[in-house]
Amino acid sequence: QAQLVQSGGGLVQPGGSLRLSCVDSGNIFSIYDANWYRQAPGNQREWLAEITRGSSTSYADFVKGRFTISRDNAKNMLYLQMNSLKPDDTAVYYCNAGGSLGHWGQGTQVTVSS
């Protein structure tokens, strides 16, 4: 069964950086466009960024210029580089392939706090 397994995350001070990683054990990134989402306590899950199979990218306005989505097709890896982190970025972050009905990572906690 295809799986997306995430790593990275943790506690970082405001203004700091983190990189999230997501490995695809089922080669599904070769089939679907890939996304990052997040969900903060009490909030709905929100879309952050997408990278297509052709490596075109798009971002939610509130992360544009701070977050970068990338992929390494040879390694079946998806990344989210997060810079200039703010306390409002605190959430559980999820990688995704194929949209809301597609495949999801297990989620990883990112906490931005001094």
Here the tokens at position 20 are 């999230």
pLDDT at 24 over 80: yes
Confidence of residue 26 (pLDDT cuts 50, 70, 90): confident
**β pairing state of 18-24 and 34-39:** unpaired
The widest CA-to-CA distance across the chain, in whole angstroms, is: 40
Predicted local confidence at residue 36, as pLDDT: 98
Q: pLDDT per residue over 27-46, tens digit each?
A: 888 888 999 999 999 999 99
pLDDT at residue 106 above 70? yes
For residue 76, with 0-12 CB atoms within 10 Å meaning exposed, 13-18 middle and 19 or more buried, which class applies?
Answer: middle
Q: CB-based contacts of 44: which residues, under 8 Å, 6+ apart? A: none
pLDDT in tens, 83-100: 999 999 999 999 999 888
- DSSP three-state, residue 110: strand
Give the Cα separation of 38 and 89 in Å (integer): 9
Express each pLDDT in 44-80 by its tens digit.
999 999 999 999 999 999 999 999 999 998 899 999 9
| Residue 28, pLDDT score | 86
**What is the DSSP annotation of 17-61?**
-EEEEEEETT-GGGTS-EEEEEE-TTS--EEEEEE-TT--EEE-T
Residue bearing tokens 């990278």: 51
Whole-number pLDDT of residue 29: 87
